[in-house]
Amino acid sequence: MRVRLEALASLEALAPLWRDLEGRAGGGFFLSWSWIGPWAALASAPLWLLRVEHEGRVVGLSLWGACVERRRGMKVRRLALHGSGAEEEDAVGIEYNGILAEAGLEAEVWAAGLQGLIEARAPLWDELTASGLAPEQAARFGALGLPLRRLSETRAAHVDLAALRAEGVQDLGGYLGALGKSTREQIRRSLKLYAAQGPLALEAAREPAELLAFWEEMRPHHQARWESRGEPGAFGRPFLVRMQERLLSAASGEAEILRVSAGGVSFGWIYNFLEERPEGRRALFYMGGFAYAGDQRLKPGLVAHALAAERYLRQGFAAYDFMAGDYRYKRNLGMEGPEMVALAVRRRRLLLEMEEAARKGYAAFRSARAAMASRKTASVPETVSSQEKRSA
């Protein structure tokens, strides 16, 4: 296989090349031009195109954002897989990241592509980073034999709709019956309370104008929840907003915003991406907004997700994927997995080796100090109630 690594010259020229390979690959939504195009058009980092060719055709493509990070007085050159290296921009949250590869040639494309990066001229990078990797893609970086550090691991969850369907589950009642007792009872109680307000309805926006209208409706409810936790929320991140509005403006069936209402009053919005995989269609939950009422018995998020799961169950989807984010409601509504991994691979250079040794030493010091504090706490006589301990 022939590998070429070059500064990206033209997004317009890359678009048809990417879409052509996309039709021969099984990379999923986040490696489609629908996601990559809007991101690349707005990314501030210089982008490098990694192209893998075989028998006269392109069989692998990926974009790497170049940035320079100063760490402890060192200048570290980084290449980020479908990222810019800027926290604000990378907060868009790519998942199932990787190299877009022709179906059947994934292993060969990855091996050739990563080897091409290793053999790139030395000043180009000191460190490769990638976020939103499924475990099997993270393992491909581990096979390089270079020093590797996991930056983070985030649990994910999904509803296995194919398995439910195989067990004869066909509707909302069947889905709820597969959930834990507490979750099932909360949703059923909420459904009755909402139904008392008027008929329940679920609408789906698929066309750009309607998608953008639902997006704006979702905004205040999404922000209210996150800002109450002291977080900026998705709409508090300008790059994310610009990228998603660009994506929605060009959407042609790969994005969907669901709106749930009772008696004509909307209370839930769910923004999903839709993708085709060899194992079947999947709906990917990207973000949501829910109108929380004073009545704590109403669970708008749980109800909206349950109705979405029923929709995709009836439509023959293989899975409703809540994606990364270790939240209890995701595990309650589905099952765990797969985790999402962020990692860094570095060249063997003296200063980087010294930095890694210092990092490990500091981590060991903190761990030892925490263990010592824990032992001291355990030796203090019990003087507080269990309720106070739970409230701490």
Domains of the chain are 2-155+340-367 (3.40.630.30), 158-336 (3.40.630.30)
Q: How many Å apart are CA 112 and CA 167, to the nearest integer? A: 42
Beta bridge partners of 268: 260, 290
Closest by CA to 286, choosing from 138, 155, 94, 97, is: 94
Helix axes 11-22, 33-42, angle to 10 degrees: 160
Q: How many Å apart are CA 106 and CA 104, to the nearest integer? A: 6
Collapsed DSSP state (helix, strand, coil) of residue 355: helix
Collapsed DSSP state (helix, strand, coil) of residue 200: strand
Per-residue pLDDT of 105-123, as tens digits, reads 999 999 999 999 998 876 7
| Residue whose token pair is 């055709």 | 57
Q: How many Å apart are CA 245 and CA 247, to the nearest integer? A: 5
Count Cβ neighbours within 10 Å for each residue of 317-332 and write b for 16 or more, e otherwise.
bbbbbbbbeeeebbbb
Query: How confident is the model at residue 361, as a pLDDT?
Result: 57
Q: How many Å apart are CA 331 and CA 309, to the nearest integer? A: 14
Closest by CA to 128, choosing from 64, 215, 70, 184, is: 64
Between residues 73 and 250, which one has the greater pLDDT? Answer: 250
Residue 378 backbone phi and psi in degrees, to 5: -65, -25
Does the pLDDT at position 278 exceed 90?
Answer: no
- Asked whether 309 and 301 are in contact (CB, 8 A), the reply is no
Does the pLDDT at position 20 exceed 80?
Answer: yes
Per-residue pLDDT of 294-328, as tens digits, reads 889 999 999 999 999 999 999 999 999 999 988 89
For residue 256, the number of C-alpha atoms closer than 13 Å in the C-beta half-sphere is: 20
Cβ partners under 8 Å of residue 61, min gap 6: 14, 17, 18, 21, 49, 50, 51, 52, 99, 100
Q: What is the mean pLDDT of residues 270-297?
A: 93
Percent of the chain with pLDDT over 90: 73
Cβ partners under 8 Å of residue 160, min gap 6: 318, 319, 334, 335
Query: How confident is the model at residue 364, as a pLDDT?
Result: 55
Q: How many Å apart are CA 290 and CA 307, to the nearest integer? A: 14
For residue 68, the number of C-alpha atoms closer than 13 Å in the C-beta half-sphere is: 5
Per-residue pLDDT of 201-248, as tens digits, reads 999 999 999 999 999 999 999 999 999 989 989 999 999 999 999 999
Q: How many Å apart are CA 291 and CA 218, to the nearest integer? A: 9
- DSSP-derived letter for residue 25 is B
Q: How many Å apart are CA 261 and CA 263, to the nearest integer? A: 7
- Distance from chain centroid for Cα 336: 15
Closest by CA to 71, choosing from 140, 134, 11, 149, is: 149
Q: How far is CA 360 from CA 76, 91, 146, 354, in A?
A: 18, 26, 17, 10
Query: How confident is the model at residue 367, as a pLDDT?
Result: 61
Does the pLDDT at position 52 exceed 80?
Answer: yes
Query: How confident is the model at residue 123, as a pLDDT?
Result: 72
DSSP assignments along 123-171, one per residue: GG-SEEEEEEE-HHHHHHHHTT-S-EEEEEEE-EEEEEHHHHHHTT--S
Does the pLDDT at position 352 exceed 60?
Answer: no
Output the pTM of the full model. Answer: 0.85
